[in-house]
Structure 1
Amino acid sequence: MSTEWKYDVNDLVWAKMKGFPPWPGRVSEPTDALKKIAKKNSKCIFFFGSKNFAWIEIGCLKPYYEFKESLTISCKTPTFKEACKAIEQYIQDTKDGKNNGIPESVNFENLIKSDTPSQPVKKRISTNARNSTSNSSVKKRKSQNDSSSFDSDSTKSKPKKERLNSSLNTGYFATQLGLTTSNNISPLRKNHSLLDRPAIQEPESAPLDVTTVSRSLMNKNILPSDLKFGFIGIGTMGAGIVKNLLNSGHKVVIWNRTTEKSQMFQDAGAIIALTPSDVIGGSDITFSCVADPQVAKDMVFGNCGVLSEITQDKGFVEMSGIDPETSQDIGEAIISKGGRYLEAMLQGSKPEAEDGSLICMAAGDKTLYDDCHSAFCAIAKHSIYLGEVGSATKMNLILHSIKAVALAGLAEGMALADRAGISQKNLLEILGMTSLKCSLLMEKGTAMMENNFKTHQALKHTQKDLSLSLNWSDTLEQPCPVTASVNEVFKHAKRLGYSDHDSSAVYVRAKF
């Protein structure tokens, strides 16, 4: 059985949006912007608490007073409680004559008319007495069984349709700013827009102290090799690696595209080379750790590159995050010149590189792997030989994909908790009590909670690894739909300006 009601401006109601609990509101005059998207058989509702407006179908409205006792306990979220307090305060202010009979929608619109004058709003204002009593504002057309829940009986005679769609305005500011959404976002819940996101600033990076020996390195008791090691690329990871090679007593020749980064290593005992080929010429074994596959190829095949100086007594170790095909190409070129080739993929981030606690996965020439033993001990807590060229790069891409998927899931969970009014700190504490506890999720979760995206592993490199993984999976015809979706999330975070920030900055994409 159903009951039809008639509502006038300023009547207090419970407004039901699809997927959300009934919410205290007031029938209001629509603003100029809302008039443009007026809905048939709907009323413009001002929502208490959120102070937003939306068109709500009459079948989704119930009088406030008649259902106050039953619906006040229908939701216990902090935002709902604030809304209930707001409507009760409005009722009290009305009794005290503080509202002056002017709906908040009219006042609200008048506040933003300074620069963009709009058409005057036609006022259809009822008396204060109508606000203070419910019986005078609600006229029953049919007397039938009362119900405290919002059911579909009142619309059974109508064809089924969505009560809310993607074009529904979610707030006055959204309309004024021309923002639209692709899903039903309720004005009743805490929400964030791109305009609210943190200001994009250059990620802070603490200066590296080359002379300080890490505790991890001191505990290893390494006997340095008599061989001379070269190193190409003093970036986020490379700087920490070179530091530990020097502090463990190895002789190191270095080259970097920007010479300013090389100076502090020269002061610590490194030899500075003028070109990548000079590094090869002055070293027995050369490591390369650069940004991506294209740069890795440039270092080898480019002008003054590695290949020009490779001989039978030279070894080349590729540490850059590359795909199996690129590694095969570089390996074949090195071997064709009589040199030895090894791919050594690194798992870890900037702190682990500086501490000497990376995980090193190597594949290729076994004798070269053995000759690098002391160097690998200095930079990693574990080094593993996986076999032929390609094995390490494949394993590396799989591990990076798993990490990225976990980070995206954590970011969405943290954003969901924030919107629902759940303490993110409590979320991380409870997560730490479960089987999900790991250093990655705990550290990145803390960074998300504090909006501290100091770079440990750049977000652009995580997205690069995802892209390489997907390209490789395509050659195997292996579906990776989750990885593909996560890749789009990281790409969007890059578009927002967080390429050089830590991978935990993917939270910004999830939240805003």
Structure 2
Amino acid sequence: MSVAYKLGDLVWAKMKGFSPWPGRVAIPTPELKPPKKAMNVQCIYFFGTNNYAWIEEHNIKPYQEHKEQLIKSCKTAAFKEAVAQIEEYIENPEKFGDFDEHARNPEEEFDKLKDVMKEDSSDEKPPEEEITTPEVKKKSATPKIRLGISKVKSIKRSSSTGLKGTPRKKVKSISRSFTDSDMANEKPSMLNHSFSKKSSLLHRPSNILRPETPPLDLENVSETLLEKNIKASQMKFGFLGLGIMGGGIVKNLLNSGHKVLVWNRTGAKCKDFEKVGATIAVTPCDVVEEADITFSCVADPQAAKEMVFGNCGVLHCPSLEGKGYVEMTSIDADTSHDIVEAISGKGGRYLEAQIQGSKTQAEEGTLIVLAAGDRSLFDDCQSCFKAMSKNSFYLGEIGNASKMNSVLQVVGGVSLAALAEGLALADRAGLSQADLLDVLALTPLASPHLILKGRAMIESSYSTHQPLTHMQKDLKLALGLGDALEQSLPLTATTNEIFKHAKRLGYANHDVAAVYIRARF
């Protein structure tokens, strides 16, 4: 049964690629032109973001009626802020003033808009929405279609970044029906930053939303793991770090029958692993003391050093005699040498085991392990490596695994930056980005990884599988290696600057595919 919406109604409105969002039926700004051939649409003001957009009525639901169901559909901070704002509006609407102050007579203007939309319905052009945020006014015979904001704050200038604004976004009309299942299952997505040719190069995103990374399903055993038929070692293993990579690795260790003792800086993460068989330790020192072999997989070289040398770290263990310590954090060779000296100095065994892959490969158990150091420890870890990877390589002396990982990250980082620039150039030239990927998939340059990241770029799907900041960190480590060896790395240096810029734009914790945003400026 269709609902007749009127000016001021509070609703849940869904744009393609976004979760249902709290909004209000409103009068659009004068520059937000009605979409062509779209009869059943409403202009929606979105709480929290202060944005306006035309939304088809089958993608709109009454707010109070669907509140209990849809308030759980997204857990981002921006979504929670929007819900808090609409609830505050319900309690005290006077506090928000007049949303539609740009219309002298709201009801009369609302009726006029309906008449305009009827007249435009005879136009044969395909329907499309164009959404932008306020920008510096330019003289033009044809007014731009903009995403209006009733109260526009002045745009401040910055000596380093220029005008701070939000880039324009062009999206096609919504054709998918707004069903209850869609509302319940839709994952949050950030704005698709696709810009017109006349877009200012100084504009950049001001409100950056990162879709939540899907939670780890600890009880689901991957088919790949089942096919491996692993005979688990009877030793007890410790694991420090349950992040994007560590969580998936520990899941496969547990599902393959290994005994695992876990620690994480955020203790709450350990509870879920405890439910599926892991034991929780209070400190890294406790993990090493109770385990035969301990793996470490944390954020960066500094965090890796803290696990060993910090308060309650590995070196505080009463005895390391015969114990194994495996460093899986992406680190440089110098850091690895510092750790091995400390571990071996107390009678322990050390192995650096760098991993190639992303969140998906960690969960499926299809990583690549690059190991160097104590060969006996490498052999003792074989059942674990088999559970977490599709292959493991022993590369000899300490430092070789870190160096190999850096070289591979150079190739991966430069390739992603090149793909992002290629997609941006295609879009600017008026070519279909989807067609570009289809053609690329048939050429010798085809790579499942690049095609996957390319899809993520054109769909603005930046749910984190490999954090952009981690790639930039690895490029920085590679440059350090190049400096030490007096090896010129001009492409790596340029790529590192591209990723650094993407981080400065606010995409550090998004997926590496978000480097595409940098290519748009």
Secondary structure at the residue paired with 1:229?
strand
Give distance in 2, aligned partners of 1:425 and 1:107: 30
Spell out, residue by residue over 1:147-168, the C-alpha distance to the aligned partner (whole angstroms, 9 max, x if none): xxxxxxxxxxxxxxxxxxxxxx
Contact 1:489 1:509 in 2 (8 A): yes
Report the counterpart of residue 499 of structure 1 in structure 2. 508
Q: Confirm or deny that 1:386 pairs with 2:427.
A: no
Find the aligned partners of 2:461 and 2:231 in 1 and give their Cα distance. 39
**RMSD value over aligned CA atoms?**
2.6
Q: Residues 108 and 115 from structure 1, CA distance in 2 versus in 1: closer, same or farther, beyond 3 angstroms?
A: farther
Which one-letter code corresponds to 1:403 in the other structure? G
Does the alignment pair 1:301 with 2:304? no
Distance 2:218 2:471 in 1: 26
Work out the CA distance in 2 between the residues paired with 1:188 and 1:489.
Answer: 21
- Taking the aligned partners of 1:188 and 1:460, their CA distance within structure 2 comes to 28
CA distance in 1 between counterparts of 2:255 and 2:345 reads 34
- C-alpha distance in 2 between matches for 1:456 and 1:389: 28
> Alignment partner for residue 433 of structure 1, among 442, 449, 456?
442
**Structure 2 regions of 5+ residues with no counterpart?**
1-138, 145-149, 153-160, 165-194
CA deviation after TM superposition for structure 1 residue 106, in Å: 8.1
For 2:485, which of 464, 476, 481 is the aligned residue? 476
Q: What amino acid maps onto 2:270 in structure 1?
A: S
- Summarize deviations over 1:360-416 as a string: whole Å, max 9, x none: 010000000000000000000001111011110000011011100000000000000
The letter for the 1-side match of 2:366 is: S
Are 2:227 and 1:219 aligned? yes
Paired position in structure 2 for 1:325: 334
Q: Which amino acid aligns with 2:262?
A: I
Q: Give the alignment of 1:154-233 within 5 angstroms.
A: 189-191=197-199, 193=201, 195=203, 197=205, 199-233=207-241
Deviation of residue 179 (structure 1)? 5.5
The one-letter amino acid of 2:337's match is: Q
Q: Are the equivalent residues in 2 in contact too, given 1:276–1:299 (CA < 8 A)?
A: yes
TM-aligned CA deviation for residue 108 of structure 1 = 7.3
- Measure, in 1, the Cα distance between the counterparts of 2:423 and 2:354: 31
Mark the CA change 1:198 to 1:510 in structure 2 (over 3 Å): closer, same or farther: farther
Deviations 1:131-175 (A, max 9, x none): xxxxxxxxxxxxxxxxxxxxxxxxxxxxxxxxxxxxxxxxxxxxx
Find the aligned partners of 1:511 and 1:412 in 2 and give their Cα distance: 8
User: How big is the shift at 1:195?
Assistant: 3.5
In structure 2, relative to structure 1, the CA distance for the partners of 1:224 and 1:108 (3 Å cut) is closer
Gaps of 5+ in 1: 1-103, 117-176, 181-186
Distance in 1 (alpha carbons) for counterparts of 2:462 and 2:439 = 23
Instruction: Say if 1:331 and 1:341, in contact at 8 Å, map to a contact too.
Output: yes
Q: Does 1:282 align with 2:290?
A: yes
- How has the CA–CA distance of structure 1 residues 213 and 108 changed in structure 2, closer, same or farther, with 3 Å as cutoff? closer
- Alignment-mate amino acid for residue 299 of structure 1: M
Shift of the 178–484 alpha-carbon distance from structure 1 to 2, 3 Å rule, reads closer
Q: 1:465 to 1:105 in 2, by over 3 A?
A: closer
Between the aligned partners of 1:254 and 1:246, the Cα distance in structure 2 is 11
Q: Is the 8 A contact 2:414 2:491 kept in 1?
A: yes
Deviations 1:167-203, CA, capped at 9 Å, x for gaps: xxxxxxxxxx9769xxxxxx99454545465841133
CA distance in 2, matches of 1:430, 1:455: 26
Q: Which residue does the alignment assign to 2:271?
A: 263
The residue number in structure 2 matching 1:368 is 377
Verify the 8 A CA contact 2:285 2:315 in the aligned structure 1. Answer: yes
Q: Contact 1:233–1:288 at 8 Å: present in 2 too?
A: yes
Once the 2 structures are TM-superposed, how far is the Cα of residue 470 of structure 1 from its aligned partner? 0.5
CA distance in structure 2 between the partners assigned to 1:115 and 1:306 by the alignment: 56
- Amino acid paired to 1:487: N
Deviations 1:102-129 (A, max 9, x none): xx758979xxxx999xxxxxxxxxxxxx
- Point out the structure with max Rg over C-alpha: 1
Aligned partners of 2:163 and 2:203 also within 8 Å: no
How many Å separate the matches in 2 of 1:285 and 1:194? Answer: 52
What is the aligned partner in structure 2 of residue 292 from structure 1? 300
* 2:357 equivalent to 1:348: yes
Contact 1:292 1:322 in 2 (8 A): yes
**2:188 match:** none
Structure 2 length-normalised TM: 0.63
Letter in 1 for 2:520: K
- Choose the corresponding residue for 1:452, options 450, 461, 472: 461
Match of 1:250 in 2: 258
Contact 1:190/1:420 (8 A) holds in 2 = no
- Given candidates 392, 402, 410, the residue that maps to 1:401 is 410
Alpha-carbon separation, structure 1, partners of 2:251 and 2:450: 28
Q: Deviations over 1:25-81 (max 9, x none)?
A: xxxxxxxxxxxxxxxxxxxxxxxxxxxxxxxxxxxxxxxxxxxxxxxxxxxxxxxxx
Percent identity over the alignment is 57
2:110 aligns with: none
Q: Residues 115, 392 of structure 1: CA spacing in aligned structure 2 closer, same or farther, 3 A cutoff?
A: closer
Show CA shifts across 1:265-284 (max 9, x none): 00001000000000001100
Q: How far, CA to CA, are the matches of 2:466 and 2:140 in structure 1?
A: 48
Secondary structure, in 3 states, of the residue corresponding to 1:219? helix
Could you tell me how far 1:204 is from its partner in structure 2? 1.5
TM-score, normalised relative to structure 1: 0.64
Superposed CA offset, 1:208-256 (max 9, x none): 1111100110000000001000000000100000000000000000000
* Equivalent residue letter for 2:416: L
Residues 190, 421 of structure 1: 8 Å contact kept: no
Q: Deviation at 1:471?
A: 1.1
Task: Verify the 8 A CA contact 2:309 2:315 in the aligned structure 1.
Answer: yes
Tell me the matched-pair count: 341
Quick one: distance in 1 between partners of 2:311 and 2:151?
59
